[in-house]
Structure 1
Amino acid sequence: MLVAPSANRVYADAAPRLAAQEAMAVLGAFGSWTAVAPTQVAGVDYLRVESDSEHALDVLSNLSATFAIFAAEGELLRPIPLQRRQFYPDDVVTIQKYQGKTNEQWTRLLLNVTAAATKQPGRWLDGRLDVMDPMCGRGTTLNIALLAGYSVTGVDIDRKDYDTYAAFLKTWAQTHRLKHTMDRGASTTGGRARGREFTLEVAPDKDAFKAGETHTVRYLSTDTTELSGLVRAASIDVIVTDTPYGVQHGSHGDRLSRRPMELIDRALPAWTTTLRTGGAVGLSYNRHVAPADELALLLEQHGLTVVTDIEAAPFRHRVDASIDRDLIVARKD
């Protein structure tokens, strides 16, 4: 597997190792692997994979760092067509640039590893995955899920992020002349205003739209700790989000931004209610402000089973002096 180049230099340095860990985690959910290891061919980073899983090609095609796949034949490499789930132009993921945006490869890795930890990992490959990012900001997770054809819900209380993302998504669909509808309005339950929301329904072409073969992005501008009546209980397979890293970006001054543990503790009851039995929560976090053992204990206290090894920390990597990034995944059994 040829590892995709990353525009982020720090992430590029860690990418081969992270790609190997991701491949092992996801392949393990679909069978077995004999060997997975970073290697170099002619000075270029590759991942060498040996697996007898019937899903190996599908899995490798959809990993976060996959650029191309080859079969090794002696000293030569024979290209193999990718089996990638991609329904739309990938600029929906890459075109937005703003301070504090999380690396797209890392976001995709978090989604993949979390989906593989569910009781029904096959939904990740066949497109039946229902995804929610309960602190979605300007929608990186939403865009990655849309690209792969999943149903996705985003939640964020920041009205500026909501307005910016709604405008971006509408413009993107129009630019690519995609058949779509966007409904915007107030979120209410029992006559009480709860915020604002929009729903984009889109299809790759007019025939698919007419046939009802559409994909949906729903964004709720509301309090992530209070989702009752807004997101149906037991309707989500995977919850993934970037927790606050304790680093201020731009003008965001949420009093909880430097205390992620407090926010997660308050939000987990609402999040886990939306999660199906067998579903999983994946959190990207900064170990400097959210100690791994404390975060694992918090997830367990809310009825989840942590499935990642926080001691070995295979996905841990340094972003900068203030961010020691890692992920943790817990399942609702």
Structure 2
Amino acid sequence: MSRYGFLVSPSHNRVYARSAPALALAELEAFGETVIDGGVQDAGITEIGGVPYVTFSAAELSGTEIRLLSNLSSLYALFAVEGDLLRPVARQPLDLFESDLLTIQKYAGKTNEDFTRLLLNVTALASDEPARLLTGDLRLLDPMCGRGTTLNQAVMYGMDASGIEIDPKDFDAYSAFFRTWLKNSRLKHRAETGTVRRQKATLGRRLQVALGASKELYREGSTIDVTVVNADTLRGGDFFRRGEFDLIVTDAPYGVQHGSRPHGGGNAGRLSRSPVDLLAAAVPVWQPLLRPGGALGISWNTHVAGREQLAEILEAHGFTVRDSAAYRGFEHRVDQAINRDIIVARKD
């Protein structure tokens, strides 16, 4: 067995930083359960030279395993622990673009970028092909995408990303931001915004983008495709095909800055502070869009809904909830009104 340690990223905001080591341990264990040969052992927080490291034992990591672990959401620098010495292990993260894609946007209620990466990672690991995290050919849907933090993280990984957002202001804000970022980054791309109609009825607006990670890839037609529709998530089947996605990753309404309207689009229906009603209505719509063996990951506020309630909804619609110690290790405090957790499940 070999011993390894990594520094937790110093870029976290103050509140998230308090939870980061425990979240890093849980995420590491999720990697160990799925893509690290023989798993990880003796994971914990170890002080080395007066600095806390997340440390663990494993069989000597292969090149593929180092590539996978390089994408841990909190990993800043990875080392092999050799006696009293630390030997740097070169990171090989998936990120195709500069981090400004994730960090430029600032607005009230934005989910922490590192947490978004964590949620995407552990959802991908729960699918029937977890190593595809490295391939860039996974297709992701965020059915309540807001201003696109999850979509942007998927693009960073080279994934095709689609989103649904009911708020026209958020749709417009994301469209403007993403187009501006593409131009400022001088990336070859096509971007179109139009209205989706069917049988003379307007279903919503749609942003479609095809971008190349390089000019050569763009010329070859090897593009990353991003699609966002401004519509009610309960109409997802009107815009996307059955089995189109490998991953569904989303933030459920936290019941603080916004609620949910589970009984109709626009301003119709009763405004609920709990995500339970919304998910009870939405999961049957999302489930057909996910391929068998694909995975769904949801973060939510435990103050307004219990884990058992969400698990019951998912299991009633053909999902198997991941319930290991690692997947129960993500609960953490955000502020006085939000205690956040993650639930992840695979489609049977």
CA shift digits 1:266-292 (9 cap, x unpaired): 111111010000011111011111111
Change (3 A) 1:49 1:134: same
2:123 to 114, 125, 128: 114
1:16 counterpart residue number: 21
2:230 equivalent in structure 1: 221
> Which blocks of at least 5 consecutive residues in structure 2 are unaligned?
1-5
Answering whether residue 308 of structure 2 is matched by residue 293 of structure 1, we say: yes
User: Is the 1:259–1:289 Cα contact (8 Å) retained in structure 2?
Assistant: yes
Does 2:65 align with 1:56? yes
For 1:280, the equivalent position in structure 2 comes to: 295
2:215 equivalent among 202, 206, 210: 206
TM-score using structure 2 length: 0.90
- Pick the aligned partner of 2:114 from 81, 105, 111: 105
Determine the C-alpha separation between the residues in 2 that align with 1:97 and 1:307. 32
Q: In structure 2, how many angstroms separate the alpha carbons of the residues matched to 1:142 and 1:277? A: 22
SS of residue paired to 1:167: helix
Q: What is the letter of the counterpart of residue 186 of structure 1?
A: T
Q: CA deviation at 1:68?
A: 1.4
| 1:193 counterpart (184, 191, 202) | 202
TM-score (normalised: structure 1): 0.94
The answer to whether structure 1 residue 25 and structure 2 residue 30 are counterparts is: yes
Confirm or deny that 1:38 pairs with 2:45.
yes
Q: Matches of 1:212 and 1:160 in 2, distance apart? A: 32
Matched to 2:22, the amino acid is: R
Given the alignment of the two structures, is residue 269 of structure 1 paired with residue 284 of structure 2, yes or no?
Answer: yes
The aligned residue for residue 3 of structure 2 is: none
Moved more, 198-207 or 155-164: 198-207
Counterpart AA for 2:50: G
* Contact 1:27-1:59 within 8 A present in 2 as well: no
1:169 match:
178
Distance 1:197 1:151 in 2: 15
Asked if structure 2 preserves the Cα contact closer than 8 Å seen for 1:21 and 1:315, the reply is yes
In structure 2, the residue matched to 1:3 is 8
Alignment-derived partner of residue 54 in structure 2: 47
The answer to whether the 8 A contact 2:27-2:326 is kept is: no
- Alpha-carbon spacing, 1:311–1:17, altered in 2? closer, same or farther (3 Å): closer
Deviations 1:48-93 (A, max 9, x none): 1222253431221011111111122222222222111011111100
SS at match of 2:210: strand
Identity %: 46
Say if 1:100 and 1:249, in contact at 8 Å, map to a contact too: no
SS at match of 1:298: helix
Q: What residue is the counterpart of 2:275 in the other structure?
A: 260
User: 2:196 aligns to what SS in structure 1?
Assistant: strand
The offset of 1:229, in angstroms, is 3.3
The residue that corresponds to 2:248 in the other structure is: 239
After superposition, give the CA deviation of every residue in 1:258-313 in whole Å (9 maximum; x if it has no partner): 13111111111111010000011111011111111111111111221111359983
1:330 alignment counterpart: 345
For the Cα contact (< 8 Å) 2:102–2:149, is it kept in 1? Answer: yes
How has the CA–CA distance of structure 1 residues 312 and 276 changed in structure 2, closer, same or farther, with 3 Å as cutoff? closer
Structure 1 distance, partners of 2:327, 2:287, is 26
In 2: Cα distance, 1:220 partner to 1:121 partner:
28
Residue pair 1:245, 1:257 contacting (<8 A) in 2 also:
no
1:244–1:257 Cα contact (<8 Å) kept:
no
1: CA distance, partners of 2:199 / 2:92: 46
> Is the CA contact 1:146–1:152 (under 8 Å) kept in the aligned structure 2?
yes
Pick the aligned partner of 1:127 from 131, 136, 148. 136
Alpha-carbon spacing, 1:184–1:312, altered in 2? closer, same or farther (3 Å): closer
2:74 alignment partner in structure 1: 65
Q: 1:241·1:283 contact (CA, 8 Å) conserved in 2?
A: yes
**C-alpha distance 190-122 of structure 1, shift in aligned 2 (>3 A):** farther
> Which deviates more from structure 2 when the two are superposed, residues 66-75 or residues 88-97?
66-75
Tell me the SS of whatever aligns to 1:226: helix
RMSD: 2.0
Partners of 1:100 and 1:168 in 2: CA distance: 17
Contact 1:138–1:164 (8 Å) recurs in 2: yes
Q: Deviation per CA, 1:167-209: give whole Å up to 9, x if none.
A: 0001011111111110111123344311001111111221121
Q: Is the 8 A contact 1:69 1:81 kept in 2?
A: yes
Between the two proteins, the alignment pairs up a number of residues equal to: 332
1:95–1:312 CA distance, 2 compared to 1 (3 A): closer
How far apart in 2 are the matches of 1:189 and 1:160?
A: 23
Letter of the structure 1 residue corresponding to residue 17 of structure 2: A
